[in-house]
Chain A
Amino acid sequence: MEFLWRVVTDALEALRAFGPAIRDVLGLTLEVSGIATVIGVVIGVPLGVALGAGRFRGRGALTVAVNTGMGMPPVLAGLVLLLFLWNEGPLGAWGLLFTPAAMIAAQALLAIPIAAGVTAGAVRGLAPDAVEQVRALGMGAFGRGVVLGREAWPGVVAAAAAAFGRVVSEVGAVLVVGGNIAGETRVLTTAIVQESRQANFGTALALGVILMVIAVVVNGVLTWLQFREAR
């Protein structure tokens, strides 16, 4: 018990001090996961609406790809991107390896299928009458997608929440392509791994608490958006 008590007091001390190291890690986490989520939503939600209500060739194959992508291990996504960004890889000349940009790209790869899959499910759950009606409005594919996406609004918000939750909590992808370099590519999850390994349990727990607070705040905002009737 004494050990756990000491860890908790250390954690509270680290939170109270809230030093520059923690601040940098928190800032980079929000930046990387936030941008990755936005990319995931911008690409994934329209894709999901198309998969949920569209009629086009290859829809079945794309749905399988998205559903598989929803369960892709982050470390594998990181590995694939690593191979592309490696010095001798196809995109090696871009010099992105071990930068925040590479981490954003890796997390976006994870966010897109989640956003698409959850959105597609929500759109599929709309009344068939809604889909019949939207086809009767004489709009183009883009306009139809906007109307249906808006109708499935709570599902789209859930898609954003799921995408953010997935990327902010993953370790594998950012670790492989980011390298966990202190002050440069270290985020909350990789920092927790690092501090745990060095037996700095108080700091590790403090970082964990911050991660949970982010999750609660972000999901609180998204839930509020879900309950609010779309104008």
Chain B
Amino acid sequence: MTAIDVRDLRHDGRGLRLEIGAFSVPEGGRVVLFGPNGAGKTTLLRLLAGTLGGGFAVPAAYLPQRPYLFRGRASRNLHLGLDPAGRLRADALAARLGVGGLGDRPARALSGGERQRIALARVLARPEDIVLLDEPLTALDAADRAVVGRVVAEALADRTAVIVTHDRDDAVMLADTMAVMVAGRIRQMGPVRDVLGLPVDDAVAAVLGVSNAHAGRTIGTDGALVEVDLGGATVWGVGDATGDAVALFGAETVTVYAGRQGTAGSARNRWVGTVGVVRELGRLVEIVVDAAFPVVVVLTPGSVDALGIQVGTVVTVAVKATAVRVVSR
């Protein structure tokens, strides 16, 4: 049975045109909508919830992106819109989420994390079989996320859910299916691990945080490995692509050696180039090495100093073939 089946959805929002050819979720399926800000995730969820009109609404319990607590006590908010059985469920969920004792407090006096958990208990206690959650764990600090995430995952068991997030860990914890949205369209939808491991194209790869995505043609195989010609250089990777393909690997999987190192290590992929860009990324440093193609690498500041890396430095970059995904395109 299909719980959600949306076809030919078109919606013109402010600065965003949402176009969904087909989006369906089987009964009991849990789909995470993943993508950058402004991709249309929240808009799609609101259309499903019916708060934006449009005629695509499904009967669902819905947690908005910024849940709102009304005047009065926390308990009033916890029970709003629920029948007596639902109120008991909400009380039990609130206790498990660590906000069971807050009932008498004015809702306005609660912290952001407490409000989020009251709102979660309220929405998860609803009787509907379909649950729509917009960034359910975002307002929580790292320590609470795991605990709250487990309670949410349990409450979603046997229910159909659509969850908006831009956190990979949340996606893995809460959902079985991932739909990646870019610029108002669903670019890829499939099992979470498949999508994370095998982005369908470079746009999806960028959304998922894979920094190196290079297009070429397959030219040979060696066991499980495929060799891709990127035009002037080749890269070995894992996959069963033939013909036009994209090689994908994360910036954190690349090793850097000072100077020209032809033989060190076991990595099958090895290119020499000069450092073209050095950019600080919070506590890490991102460099781009101009080999036959630009290779993005993330290093610690300590490694940058030890290797004497600056713009113009000649280095060797290496990446194990097993860290590279080769995807047909």
Contact = CB atoms under 8 A, between A and B. Distances in A.
Contacts of A132: 46, 51, 64, 66, 68
Q: Which has the most chain A C-beta neighbours within 10 Å: B53, B72, B73?
A: B72
B68 A130 contact: yes
Nearest to A136: B62
B71 interface: yes
Interface residues of B, number: 22
Contacts of B126: 138
A217 interface: no
Interface centre among B53, B63, B81, B123 (most CB of A within 10 A): B81
Contacts of A147: 70, 80
A139 B62 CA distance: 12
Contacts of B67: 129, 133
A138 to B, nearest CB: 5
Task: Give the dominant DSSP class at A's interface.
Answer: helix
Contact of B68 (A129, A138, A139, A143): A129
A169 B325 CA distance: 80
B72 A136 contact: no
Given A130-B68, A130-B70, A229 B106 contact: yes
A182 to B, nearest CB: 48
Interface string B106-129: 100000000000000001001010
A62 to B, nearest CB: 19
Contact of B64 (A133, A150, A231): A133
A135 interface: yes
A26 B68 CA distance: 46
A129 B72 contact: no
Main SS at interface, chain B: loop
A195 interface: no
B81 A143 contact: yes
B64 A136 contact: yes
A230 interface: yes
A231 B80 CA distance: 14
A127 interface: yes
Nearest to B108: A229
Interface string A18-52: 00000000000000000000000000000000000
Contacts of A137: 80-81
A167 B128 CA distance: 48
A10 interface: no
A3 to B, nearest CB: 54
Contacts of A16: none
A135 B60 CA distance: 11
Contact of A136 (B49, B70, B106): B49
A186 B227 CA distance: 101
B149 interface: no
Given A138-B81, A138-B126, A133 B68 contact: yes
A129 B50 CA distance: 15
A57 interface: no
A153 interface: yes
A129 B66 contact: yes
Contacts of A230: 71-72
Interface string B206-218: 0000000000000
Given A137-B81, A229-B106, 13 more contacts: A132-B66, A133-B67, A134-B68, A135-B50, A136-B49, A136-B62, A138-B61, A138-B81, A139-B81, A143-B81, A150-B72, A229-B71, A230-B72
Interface of B: 46, 49-51, 53, 61-64, 66-68, 70-73, 80-81, 106, 123, 126, 128
